A and B are shown apart, each in its own frame.
Chain A
């Protein structure tokens, strides 16, 4: 039987506010346990929450970016359950009236086609603290630094049909939130976490199969792996005559498998009700218009512009627009050198290669966008040839010079285009290579093209790489052919 996979994602995005969603405590990552938890975060008797306006603005920005309906009135609810790292015994969230209503995100697939994934809603909520199970001699430690950190939970419709689509969707969300600057998107530090709902159904069947929810899948790669495992598990189960039960499962990245956490019967009754300590959030049109006017160009628009206005390939446009940092870097290189294709080649070639080798992100690149732009410019205006350009890049990468021009000057890499000088070098090489000249002369005419490479190499070497390769080629051919 042919099976179809149905996937929906719940993505928790940690918002990059300075302080927590309901208190003034800092949200900085990595501080000493419980050093960033104030009376409100600790849930002390008598404390009250006060909503962080920045978190509201960020949620609205996301909503606008995914063309969603923004709720005129949204309401915070309490989700009640007991857990040691949940200080108040309830999580303040938005159950019935979320701030962001239905919207949609466009994803790009491997074959460069696009697909729209609908967003059901997105709501604001507070994060819980962390339970620490190591280093406490069998006891559990509680760190409440994270308690009260603002999260935007983005809930998709079950619109994805493969693990690849799910990963592409997650990347699209990552790209939108980092473009907006509302999250650092750092998955390793938990700034973006994902719950995956997966079910399978016979191809052509309209109704959905029973879904399993896989909790806390925290990288693009794990999303694909967890779905792949889960789909296989469900299909095998059904084909062996079993039925999938609705349950929550946990992905184990060490074994690439999912395991049952709890079934629906064991699920909590969260007893949601409106939080009486917080007023409904009321947003007017002027506020939305103001935020809309401040939205940056978003990834989909940027990709479109890169492809159609700058003439990049669909692939280049997608790669260069995937992250705001990458796009900004590329656009700066382009601004300085004036040639989009060359800028794209350099950013994706030499620069990305070097960054990958040293596991650096583009914001930490030792070569600035302006430096790279100037370097590309020098290639374009024939000041240096491609080979010298790579040397200049390496020099800039290692901090040997402030600019491409300085490196070119210091290393004497300026391209030699003086025909007389090149001819002199060619004559010398020909004089020094009688055997090769004889071979050339005796060779079949169609093989001579390849043989010329040796002489080009010698001339370039003699020029320490600075001779213009096209000129060298042309002049060499003329001179060698004259010897025939």
Chain B
């Protein structure tokens, strides 16, 4: 049962072969069996899940079932969930129960989905390995000595290990695509503004975007159908019609123009990853696509620009965690300053503190223009690079990450960790959508092919990804851990 895609499970529910309650109980059982090893969940909401499953079964019996009704999902612990702890992977919010649902959570509830629980993540979505969680690292089901990627590492590991058929993640600099690549699943970061950010705890507001993580592009399409759309509570969400992303999955790809950014195949790219990506591209050529090399000349400025803009926004976004109204408060503060200092020093982990300090510095008087203003200029150039490229090609393809999943504890210094996101970060700066699909293995660890499109090209990306998954079986492979933990 836990080997099936959402699409297959939806059929089984529809035919009555399976009830949502059975399905939900099965996944709750899987979590009990396997998660003590993986640590992919921070909170499991078993009772709520069973109640939602029963309600879904009743709705189905009355003929009120939609495509997603009764399907269980896992939610990254960055989404506010009413009455359920929402920690954001931080000690700061270890005691925080959200009093409201994020818009995407509300939409998925309304669609009849069942929430299994809240998944582990790098604290406040800051990290590329899920090692920055207050709740401890998550293990990669493909290799328990490897990281699952981050920051949506819990969601990726849970889906890969069959603890949930699909999950929600968020992506600020690669946090959906890189863990999807590391765990051999499909993960989509939509266009900035496509999915409401309301109720999603902000890391870097101008870059954050929620997206689906699942076993196939088709599954992602069905989730995006519900998640996408304008939200009056998020001024940056775009009032633009939402197409049926599932409808165009099978559009033929003949004549598709693929661009390979030469900057994505340079120094630092693992040779096996490169080989897998080039082989994937040749699969498209066999479908009638044409391939050419393109250039995104400002690519190497993306990481420095990101590490100015994202920490700047984060330093301000995380100011509300001051120990006054909610979240961690130090014991016996001697005065207000002591309350602030100790609550924040105790509540935030090292990486979060580092980024707050960087952001506070770059916004300071005398440094603002040199850092923030300059980084915004670079950001515009990076965006223009993509727009120029999309004049000539339909989609861009390249690796999602320079290497497959690395070992837990392997990246000690922050900069080597930051460089992990070299192929994903520019996408957030430009606001365009990107998807990572499984495209092979190196040393038993999955490799992700990243496909990028222009703004609001999600339907095309899902179509292109789905066609690859019709021609290959990388996405259907399962780690041995699934059997071993059953």
Contacts and interface: CB of A to CB of B under 8 A. Distances in A.
Contact of B340 (A80, A82, A273): A82
A45 interface: yes
A187 interface: no
A88 B320 contact: yes
A84 B197 CA distance: 26
A48 interface: yes
Contacts of A78: 316
Interface in B295-325: 312-313, 315-316, 318-322, 324-325
Contact of B320 (A49, A89, A276, A278): A89
Nearest 4 pairs of A and B residues by beta carbon: A89-B319, A271-B363, A276-B205, A276-B206
B27 interface: no
Interface string A36-69: 0001001111111111000000000000000000
Contacts of A465: none
Q: Among A45, A87, A269, A279, which residue has the most Cβ atoms of chain B within 10 A?
A: A45
Contact of B326 (A44, A51, A279): A44
A46 B205 contact: no
Nearest to A88: B320
Contacts of B320: 43, 45, 87-89
Contacts, number: 99
B198 interface: yes
Contact of B316 (A44, A47, A87, A273): A273
B365 interface: yes
A272 to B, nearest CB: 8
A277 interface: yes
Contacts of A269: 364-365
A250 interface: no
A413 B342 CA distance: 80
A47 B317 CA distance: 11
Interface string B358-393: 001001110010001000000000000000000000
Nearest to B90: A45
Contacts of A48: 197-198, 233-236
A139 B336 CA distance: 11
A43 B317 CA distance: 10
A50 B235 contact: yes
A279 B368 CA distance: 21
For the complex, would chain B's binding face be called helix, strand, loop or mixed by DSSP majority? loop
Interface residues of B, number: 44
A45 B363 contact: no
Nearest to B319: A89
Contact of B202 (A42, A46, A89): A46
A45 B322 contact: no
B360 A45 contact: no
Given A50-B234, A89-B320, A278-B235, 6 more contacts: A44-B99, A44-B100, A45-B86, A46-B201, A80-B319, A277-B235
B97 to A, nearest CB: 11
Interface of B: 79-80, 86, 88, 93, 96, 98-100, 102, 197-202, 204-206, 232-236, 312-313, 315-316, 318-322, 324-326, 336, 340, 360, 363-365, 368, 372
Interface of A: 39, 42-51, 78, 80, 82, 84, 87-90, 142, 269, 271-273, 276-279
A44 B97 CA distance: 11
Contacts of A84: 322, 324, 336
Given A78-B316, A82-B340, A276-B313, A46 B235 contact: no
Given A45-B88, A273-B312, A278-B235, A80 B363 contact: yes
Contacts of B202: 45-46, 277
B89 to A, nearest CB: 12
Contacts of B86: 45-46
Q: In this complex, which of A272, A276, A278 has the most chain B Cβ atoms within 10 angstroms of its Cβ?
A: A276
A116 to B, nearest CB: 34
- Most chain B CB neighbours (cut-off 10 Å) among A78, A89, A269: A89
A289 to B, nearest CB: 25
A49 B237 CA distance: 12
A277 B319 contact: no
Contact of A271 (B98, B198, B204, B364): B364
Nearest to A271: B363
Nearest to B318: A89
Contacts of B199: 46-47
A446 to B, nearest CB: 83
B324 to A, nearest CB: 5
Given A89-B316, A269-B364, A49 B235 contact: yes
B99 A39 contact: yes
A36 to B, nearest CB: 16
Given A46-B201, A49-B235, A273 B319 contact: no
A279 B192 CA distance: 13
A266 B236 CA distance: 36
Given A46-B202, A87-B325, A276-B206, A51 B363 contact: no
A78 B236 CA distance: 16
Given A51-B235, A279-B235, A42 B360 contact: no
Given A45-B88, A49-B235, A88-B319, A273 B205 contact: no
Given A45-B80, A47-B199, A271-B364, A279 B236 contact: yes
Given A43-B325, A48-B197, A271 B99 contact: no
A278 B233 CA distance: 11
B325 A46 contact: no
Nearest to A24: B233
11 contacts: A44-B100, A46-B200, A50-B234, A271-B315, A271-B364, A272-B368, A273-B372, A276-B205, A277-B205, A277-B235, A277-B236
B334 to A, nearest CB: 13
A45 B96 contact: yes
A442 to B, nearest CB: 90
A51 B235 CA distance: 8
Nearest to A270: B365
Contact of A142 (B206, B233, B315, B324): B324
A273 B325 CA distance: 25
A50 B233 contact: yes
B319 A47 contact: no
A278 B205 CA distance: 10
Contacts of B93: 45
A42 B320 CA distance: 9
B312 to A, nearest CB: 6
